[in-house]
Amino acid sequence: MTERAFFSGKEFDKRFRYDGKDLGALCRGGRTSFKVWSPLAEGLTLRLYRDDSSAAFLEKEMEPGKRGVWQAEFPESLHGVYYDYLVKNQGKEVTSADPYAVSCGCNGARSMVTDLRLTDPPGFRGDERPAAGEECIIYELHIKDFSYDAGSGVPEEHRGKYKAFAAGDGQELPVCMKHLTELGVTHVQLMPFFDYASIDESGDGSRFNWGYDPLNYNVPEGSYATDVRDGTVRVRECKEMIQALHRCGLGVIMDVVYNHTYSGDSWLERMVPGYYYRHRKDGSLSDGSACGNDIAVGRAMVDNYIADSVRYWVREYHVDGFRFDLMGLLTVELMNRIRRELDEEFGPGRILLYGEPWRAGESPMERGTHPALKENAGLLDEGVGFFSDDTRDTIKGHVFHGEVPGFVNGGRGLEDQILHAVTGWRDGGASIVPKSCRQVVNYVSVHDNFTLWDKLVLTMHKELRQHCWETDFTSRYEDVLAANRLAAFIYFTCQGNLLMQAGEEFGRTKLGEDNSYRSAPEINMLRWSQVEDFGDLVAYYKGLIHLRKRLPGLCDKAPSAFRRIKDQKVWGPGVVSFRVDNRSSSQGGEWDELCVVYNASDEAFSMELPEGRGLWEVLADGREADCRRPAEAAGGFGCAEVVVEARSGMLAGR
């Protein structure tokens, strides 16, 4: 039996599975214990260091224990001491950091013993999660993007850092935090802030990466800290960031990448060669992630590692949810386990879970498991959500082909699809039917691919493709503004969860760059002057956010919620309408019924609102959201008529 076949079977897991929660370096009661899982090792040596660069001051042979766990004990607290392991496998020795480390030195090569209670900022133990509301409106944000621009109002030494979120503590908030708190979103989805390998933490801060390159899963990224060498600083400042966001009433969702590591030569690989990664039949690493390797989810200790890591971030950092990168490389079984364990420890549905229900390529799965792809939505717990690429592409056009438009920017024949999107695809129209719209995350832009603004400019101003200069994307195009407002109006009036890319509300541009994962920070950063330049667009988004929270017919996440959508009509190319039963016994809605019209055509559209009890009010149109004005009477017969401008929408309530 080959080693690979051995790992793929159940025999190895049955023999060596370890369910203890004490792996890593733990400081308890003035003592320090080291435990690491390495069942194939012939020997392990623990090496201790005074800092993250000097020579070892002590080497200690680890003792083998049960189920492949090696251990060493010290009668004192070693808080602040750095360490690594010398691992001997098949006669060869390799150096490895601790896969279970909770902190580390510069660039993560040495782990650090950490008494986590000594890293808590003042009041952190009393930090409370924001109360769960009727609706979740999520804002995707990169930590460096948020405050790198001088216009952010953050002191220079804290720009692009965890500290930016705590700037102005107890005083006037800087521009970036003031905007974030006033926008009305309920959660911030922070792009990866575990320790990743693609940035040299000792550099000058001018390099940039999205962070989808995991190195140390349970350690905060050092480049966002004010001191990259003292491992306690990154932990404390990360906690300060989350605490500050909680004080502002914002939940924190962590973008996590458990599907691959930065390199196949990871700490996991060095501890147990061949176990943590999937392999093809020829022995090569599988690459369903398009990043060089795939984590072997479905094996007992891989699943334990991921599930324990997720709970650690919730317990220790007070994280409020998780967005899983390439969730299609994980398994339905693991995602349901995570959902169940979080519900048991923190309360049903209290921690949000959702992810990308796709993968970049095929990947060999463990026997008896199912990939967490959207076609397996019916196997996922209803509390595991997924991004709706169907909604995204229907509204703005094909995500990978910049020239292909969607409903709002000139696409044809998409009327029926738009009406299906309204129900969170519960009434068909997509390749899957979710259990409820609770599983669906609607959006039109995230960090991947073109920003919404750039996509609209490229499809609506094709003459610019030959010379994509900066001014081409930063100019105010009135037709693009109208399409942007309509795109936002549509997904904010669909059933399901809502997510938006930071800066979408003020025409964020990356100057036509569709894959800015390592572009200059000046390309990626939020330009805070645009909040004023695009103040009308910002006001429109704020209005939609405020209005959405008051519409129970759209916020309803029950499996039967799609039945609230009725009288769906296609009036012609680019023009559709529908009505919504907006009644709610628990929320006490202001309007019993809604009428929604999308007009993506080049001509104004007029329609009479349905007759019935009560007067119709226009609550949003193509230029103003969260307004309240009476709909005009038509023809003196007492019924109301509305005119929906070209490339705009209308929402009325009565």
Last residue of a domain, one of 552, 583, 608: 552
Other CB atoms within a 10 A radius of the CB of residue 367 amount to 9
Asked whether the predicted pLDDT for residue 140 surpasses 80, the reply is yes
Distance CA 434, CA 415 (A): 21
**Which pLDDT value is given to residue 637?**
46
3-state secondary structure of 32: strand
Confidence label for 468 from pLDDT (cuts 50, 70 and 90): low
Judge if 544 and 578 occupy the same domain.
no
- Structural domain harbouring 313: 137-255+297-552
| 361 plus 437 within the same structural domain | yes
Q: Does 362 qualify as catalytic in the annotation?
A: no
Q: What is the pLDDT of residue 636?
A: 42
What pLDDT score does 462 carry?
81
Q: Are residues 69 and 142 in the same domain?
A: no
pLDDT tens track for 406-453 = 999 999 999 999 999 999 999 988 888 899 999 999 999 999 999 999
Q: Does residue 239 fall inside a structural domain? A: yes
Catalytic residue among 13, 221, 356, 505: 356
Write down the pLDDT at residue 617: 95
Q: Are residues 153 and 7 in the same domain?
A: no
Q: Quick one: average pLDDT of 88-98? A: 95
In a domain, 127, yes or no: no
Over the stretch 166-179, which tens digit does the pLDDT of each residue have? 987 667 899 999 99
Q: Residues 587, 530: one domain? A: no
Residues 59 and 154 in one domain: no
571 with 542, same domain: the answer is no
> Is the pLDDT at 290 greater than 70, yes or no?
yes
Lookup: tokens for 116: 């986590």
pLDDT tens figures, 148-207: 999 999 999 999 999 999 987 667 899 999 999 999 999 999 999 999 999 999 999 899
Exposed e or buried b per residue across 429-452, where buried means at least 16 C-beta atoms within 10 angstroms of its C-beta: bbebebbbbbbbbbbbbbbebbbb
Could you tell me the CATH number of the domain that includes residue 63?
2.60.40.10
- 234 and 344 fall within a common domain: yes
Q: Mean pLDDT over residues 496-502, rounded?
A: 98
114/105 Cα distance (integer angstroms): 12
Token reading at 134: 């009727």
Residues 101, 189 within the same domain = no
Evaluate whether residue 284 is within a structural domain: no
pTM assigned to the model: 0.96
pLDDT for 195: 98
Q: State both tokens at 193.
A: 């802030």
Q: Is residue 590 part of a domain?
A: yes
The Cβ of residue 181 has, within 10 Å, a number of other Cβ atoms equal to 15
Whether residue 262 is contained in a domain is answered as: no
CATH no. for residue 630? 2.60.40.1180
Q: Which pLDDT band, with edges at 50, 70 and 90, does 314 fall under?
A: very high
For the chain, helix (H) and strand (E) counts, in that order, are 17, 28
Average per-residue pLDDT in the chain?
A: 94
Q: Which residue has the higher pLDDT, 612 or 500?
A: 500
Res. 470 pLDDT band, cuts 50 70 90 = low
One domain for residues 475 and 387: yes
- Residue 167's pLDDT is 86
Last residue of a domain, one of 60, 85, 119: 119
Express each pLDDT in 570-609 by its tens digit. 999 999 999 999 998 776 679 999 999 999 999 999 999 9
Number of domains in the chain: 3
Q: What is the mean pLDDT of residues 17-46?
A: 96
Q: Does residue 325 have an active-site annotation?
A: yes
Are 105 and 166 contained in the same domain? no
In a domain, 62, yes or no: yes
Instruction: Please identify which of the residues 84, 213, 303, 325 carries the catalytic annotation.
Output: 325
Instruction: Tell me: do 581 and 517 sit in the same domain.
Output: no
